[in-house]
Amino acid sequence: MFNRFYATLALTVLLSACSSGVKLNDVPVEDKTASAVTTSAPASQAESTVAPVMTGKAGTMGVAPAGLNVVYFDYDSFTLKPEASAVLERNAAHLQANKQFKVQLEGHTDERGGREYNIALGQKRAETVRRALTLLGVSDAQLEAVSFGEEKPALNGADEAAYAKNRRVEFKY
Amino acid sequence: MNLTFKLSLFGVFKRFFCAGSLLFLLQALVATAQFKVDVSGVGLTQVPIAIATFKGEESAPQKTSAIVAADLERSGQFRVVSPGPAALDELSRPDMPALRQKSADALLAGSATRLADGRYEMRAKLWDVVTGQERNEFRETIAAADLRLSAHRMADWVYETLTGDKGVFATRIAYITKTSGKYSLWIADSDGENAQSALSSAEPIISPTWSPKGNQLAYVSFELRKPVIYVHELATGKRRVIANFKGSNSSPAWTPDGRSLVATLSRDGGSQLFQIEVASGEVKRLTNTTGIDTEPVLTSDGSKLYFVSDRGGSPQIYKMSATGGAVERVTFSGSYNISPALSPDGRWLTYISRVGGQFKVQVMNLSTGQVSAITDTTADERPSFAPNSKLIVYATVLQGREALMTTTLDGKIKAKLSGQSGDIREPAWGPYR
């Protein structure tokens, strides 16, 4: 387990160092941008390999594996900690066994800093987890990395205990 | 007690402060009152203006004179003095020597007359107290519901007559509140009053930004359980999804022609800047880094783009051509500079710096590069310029509660906007209307 995890970490670091050169989405993502007509929600696209329109119902994309489906990060850090390995491996196995499932990887930050910059930081965390899952064999089509920034803290509070629980990526099926 | 009344009350006390005494009393007053107006520094050039209670305003739904007084005070360019006990309106022949003794340079008096159809006729006159001459007259007939708007227009009229610059009191400010798990987007008058809800959601809403014409807002809503960019027409409530690509879609900024948004998308990995044509949805990538490029803002002529990037190892503000290409670093001091906003006249950049763990509004003179921190608060966010480039609205935390403040560019005059209880954030100052 030790070796496998660190191999994953090393690859993750390598990949993140050259992420712009790597085509992360093998299948072009469908634009869900509405055309000139007024619409209240994006039109549903036929392309099955990309994430569909999210309706906010977590149950529509699959069933989560048992256990805690969240990994935590240090302050200002996007590096997976050793204790993340069990969560990653469990979810990777679950997604490989259920190819029809999709998971949304929700990056979050603590409340310090600007809201928009925190969206970008949370995105970085979510993409770290996405790459780790891809390296464990999960199809990228099953994964979507998104960010909530500081908008959805797991715990309210302005101390390190709360901050530590808020710097996280949640796996939402 | 509302802000406008408190502000006009404050104006009376500020005379003493400006005379160099009663600082202690002033501080005690500021501490006990709920509002907060800070005046610091000496040598402020403020026009002393006497504003009479308008004839008929006691029975009108809005106290026009108090609204005008609060507007003018908040601009930092006026000091409101009492005209004395005599009843005055636009037809009066004011006692100029008495007003000069009160050290007023200008006098505003007027009336609010309810018409048979329920509308109001608003009349006002502005005098130059020093010369004793009439300067200008104001007259409009408006619906009772527009009395507050009319008062703001009157404040703009006074401001422009006496300073030569266009006022911003009749403009609007958008902001977000969070109250017991509900998020709302509000459109309020520039003093924070008269707020109307444009959108409510169980999920967060952030980054409202006005279209150049002021009829639409772009914003980021999480109602689809991820950040998605919408454009919302205020008058009709019609909404359109503009960017819902795989990953996160955030930080919309309008191009000055109103045809496109520049925004941050993660669809190709990382957080990168893209231009999205609103009508066609056509997307063009503008930046190409491995890291974070976000919070774009365009210059008024649309030629340049300022944005935040961590390409140098820490978030700093950069600029480049609006079509992409080579970048130039703009901020050099400190390790965390975010949330840029440009003054419409192109002379100033405001942004947030983290200094010693505190987040503070900065103002940079773009021609000299000189930077000043203009607040005493420690959790400032998202500054936004008024359309006349003379005031900034920003979010901060006061006594543990989120609040919106306006400030002059030198930081000398600050006022807390009145508004909803609960958390209030993400202000965006709208254009002239």
Q: How many residues does chain A have?
A: 173
> What distance in Å separates the CA atoms of residue B310 and residue B188, rounded to the nearest whole number?
34
Q: What is the largest CA-CA distance in chain A?
A: 54
Query: Is residue A83 assigned to a domain?
Result: yes
Considering only the beta carbons, identify the residue of B246, B294, B381 that sits closest to A144. Answer: B246
Domains of chain B: residue spans and CATH = 3-163 (3.40.50.10070), 173-429 (2.120.10.30)
Nearest residue of chain A to residue B359 (CA atoms): A113
Considering only the beta carbons, identify the residue of A32, A50, A120 that sits closest to B264. Answer: A120
For residue A102, give its domain range.
2-19+60-172
Query: Is residue A164 assigned to a domain?
Result: yes
Tokens at residue B315, please?
A: 């978030």
B140 part of contact set with chain A, CB < 8 Å = no
Inter-chain touch B226–A16, beta carbons under 8 Å? no
Contacts of A91 (CB under 8 A, 6+ apart): A65, A69, A103, A133, A138, A171
Query: Is residue A80 assigned to a domain?
Result: yes
Neighbours of A82 (CB within 10 A): 11
Question: Which phi-psi region, left, alpha or beta, contains residue A137 (left: φ > 0; alpha: ψ -120 to 50)?
Answer: left
Contacts of A42 in chain B (CB under 8 A): 241, 244
Is the pLDDT score of A104 beyond 50?
Answer: yes
Cα angle for residues B315, B318, B320 (degrees, 5° grid): 145
B102 part of contact set with chain A, CB < 8 Å = no
The model's pTM = 0.82
When mean pLDDT is compared across A78-82, B22-26, B315-319, the lowest value belongs to: B22-26
Inter-chain touch A148–B227, beta carbons under 8 Å? yes
For residue B123, the one-letter residue type is R
Contacts of A108 (CB under 8 A, 6+ apart): A122, A125, A147, A148, A149, A150, A152, A153, A154, A166, A167, A168, A169, A170
Here the CATH number for the domain that contains residue A135 is 3.30.1330.60
pLDDT of residue A60: 59
Phi, psi of B66 (to 5 degrees): -70, -35
Is the pLDDT score of B323 beyond 60?
Answer: yes
Tell me the count of A-B CB pairs closer than 8 A: 154
Is the pLDDT score of B108 beyond 90?
Answer: yes
Neighbours of B332 (CB within 10 A): 11
* Per-residue confidence band for B329, with pLDDT thresholds at 50, 70 and 90: very high
Strand partners, B108: B51, B126
For residue B102, the one-letter residue type is K
> What distance in Å separates the CA atoms of residue B42 and residue B315, rounded to the nearest whole number?
35
pLDDT per position as a tens digit, B342-361: 999 999 999 999 999 999 99
The span from the first CA to the last CA of chain B, in angstroms, equals 29
Query: Is residue A25 assigned to a domain?
Result: no
Considering only the beta carbons, identify the residue of B222, B242, B294 that sits closest to A148. Answer: B222
Judge whether B127 and B134 are in contact, CB under 8 Å: yes
> Which helix (H) or strand (E) segment is A53 a member of?
none
Judge whether B169 and B423 are in contact, CB under 8 Å: no
Query: Is residue A128 assigned to a domain?
Result: yes
* Per-residue confidence band for B420, with pLDDT thresholds at 50, 70 and 90: low
When mean pLDDT is compared across A130-144, B94-108, B126-140, B405-419, the lowest value belongs to: B405-419
Q: What percent of chain A has pLDDT over 70?
A: 65
* Per-residue confidence band for B15, with pLDDT thresholds at 50, 70 and 90: very low
Considering only the beta carbons, identify the residue of A17, A53, A119 that sits closest to B250. Answer: A119
Beta strands in A109-159 (DSSP E): 143-149
Domain count for chain A:
1
Beta strands in B227-303 (DSSP E): 228-233, 239-243, 249-254, 260-265, 272-277, 283-285, 293-298
Query: Is residue A10 assigned to a domain?
Result: yes
Of B187, B94, B133, B103, give the one whose Cα is nearest residue B429: B187
Inter-chain touch B381–A32, beta carbons under 8 Å? no
Average pLDDT over residues B180-204: 91
Query: Is residue A37 assigned to a domain?
Result: no
Query: Is residue A49 assigned to a domain?
Result: no
β pairing state of B293-298 and B283-285: unpaired
Contacts of B145 (CB under 8 A, 6+ apart): none
Inter-chain touch A53–B268, beta carbons under 8 Å? no
Helix (H, G, I), strand (E, B) or coil at B324: coil
Is the pLDDT score of A29 beyond 90?
Answer: no
Phi, psi of B31 (to 5 degrees): -70, -35
For residue B79, the one-letter residue type is R
